[in-house]
Structure 1
Amino acid sequence: MTTEVSRTPAPPAVLDTPPPPRWAVWAAHAVPLIALPSTLWRLAMTAGVPVGYSEEVLRTDYGLPGTGYLILPLISLAQEGAALLTLGLVRDWGLVAPRRLPFIGGRPVRTGAAVTAALLGALVMTAVTVSQLLLWDTVDQGNLTGTHRTVMGWLYAPLLLWGPLLALVTLSYALRRRSRR
């Protein structure tokens, strides 16, 4: 006795939209990867790995021990979750909302809403990371020095690419969605 799996046909939004270019797929997959080093730094700090801060700085600035055990991992999860949303711009779930989502499941994603949200995210990420780069000489002045400061800088530096990569992937998404009309 064989059981057939019932497959519903793909919605027109998926069928009518051309596939993303290879560079856009690569860029979308790069975003979560460039967010990962700073996430790992934060999680290492939470786990008690010596990252160069004194116990006093960990306690007063990062809430460790204490609320930092909750807040720092939540920041890390939120960061990676936001980075993973970039994949929606090159995957089918960026064209039609997954059925498991309440209220919007199975409906086509509005191009304008997706593009606006993604461009706003790209703008915010670019503004935040560039402003932090410009302030780097004053960040943690005296609290983190030498090798630890250099390591932290190299782990956070890839975030400078997040905004521009997201903007490029968003442009590709917008052009693909516009070409199906």
Structure 2
Amino acid sequence: MTTRATPARLHGRTAAGVPRWAVWAAYATSLTALPAGLWRILSVDLRLPLMEAPADGRPPPDWFGAEWWYVIALSLVSEALAFLAVGLVSEWGEVWPRWIPRLGGRPVPILAAVIPAGLGATANTLLWPYSMTMISLGRMVTGEANPRAGTHGWQAVVFYGAYWPLALWGPLLGLLTVHYYRRRRRAADSTAALLRPTRRRATSPAEAD
């Protein structure tokens, strides 16, 4: 399997006209939520010592209980949403996959991709850079001091290494959304220009009259 074949199998074929920087930006966006998801699963579900335990100790894990499934579901949904950024550079982001009933094989309307991607980029840009800055300063999102900060030393390094990539999710997604919109608009305008009927030039004075 070649280097190019591996991303194609994992993420689908890259759409025509997509530059390499956009492809790598999409791959990076799809991975921004992965470290945080792994940290949650390891620390909450598997009880690895990635954060300090309270003075009265941490209760044993409730295997397959509500909290266990919540952490798994939150991590999977977050990663699935981040992965959708790859659609902005892939063929399946321009043409509905054939397994989708009624829509399969049809072009994806530009705004059907741009509007949710733009909303996601805006939400993540407003949420994560600010939230991680507050947490790094030992404060809650409201700006108040956080008395329950549970990571210090090497645990803090692991925590910030897992969660700070989320701050890149919104800006990268916004960049890809703008590029997707401009690229597809250019393609649509070019197609419309080719299909637009042209007036036949007059070949004689009689035809001109």
Is TM (by shorter chain) over 0.5?
yes
Q: Which amino acid aligns with 1:73?
A: I
| Counterpart pick for 1:37 among 35, 38, 60 | 35
User: Identity over the aligned pairs, expressed in percent?
Assistant: 38
Give 1:2-81 correspondences, 5 Å limit. 18-45=16-43, 46-54=45-53, 64-65=61-62, 66-81=65-80
State the shift of 1:72 in Å.
0.4
Higher helix share: 1
Distance 1:135 1:58, change over 3 A: farther
1:122 matched residue in structure 2: 121
- Count of aligned positions: 162
State the shift of 1:58 in Å.
5.9
Residue range with higher mean Cα deviation, 96-105 or 154-163: 96-105
2:150 matched residue in structure 1: 144
Q: Which consecutive residues of structure 2, in runs of 5 or more, have no partner in the other structure?
A: 1-14, 141-145, 190-209
Measured in 1, the distance between the counterparts of 2:159 and 2:180 equals 33
Is residue 31–residue 83 contact of structure 2 (8 Å, CA) maintained in 1? no
> In the TM superposition, what whole-angstrom CA distance separates every residue of 1:77-125 from its partner, at most 9, and x where no partner exists?
0011001100100000000010111332222101012111111100011
Measured in 2, the distance between the counterparts of 1:153 and 1:141 equals 18
| Counterpart pick for 1:172 among 173, 176, 179 | 179
Measured in 1, the distance between the counterparts of 2:132 and 2:41 equals 22
Distance 1:64 1:126, change over 3 A: farther
Measured in 2, the distance between the counterparts of 1:71 and 1:177 equals 38
Measured in 1, the distance between the counterparts of 2:33 and 2:149 equals 23
State the shift of 1:165 in Å.
0.5
Higher relative contact order (CA 8 A, sep 6+): 1
Distance 1:78 1:129, change over 3 A: same
Measured in 2, the distance between the counterparts of 1:178 and 1:159 equals 29
Measured in 2, the distance between the counterparts of 1:57 and 1:88 equals 44
Measured in 2, the distance between the counterparts of 1:151 and 1:120 equals 30
Distance 1:52 1:113, change over 3 A: same
Residue range with higher mean Cα deviation, 145-154 or 76-85: 145-154
Distance 1:117 1:57, change over 3 A: farther
Measured in 2, the distance between the counterparts of 1:57 and 1:36 equals 28
State the shift of 1:54 in Å.
2.1
State the shift of 1:138 in Å.
2.0
Distance 1:100 1:48, change over 3 A: same
CA RMSD of aligned residues (A): 2.2
Q: Which consecutive residues of structure 1, in runs of 5 or more, have no partner in the other structure?
A: 1-16
Measured in 2, the distance between the counterparts of 1:79 and 1:36 equals 8
Distance 1:111 1:74, change over 3 A: same
1:10 matched residue in structure 2: none
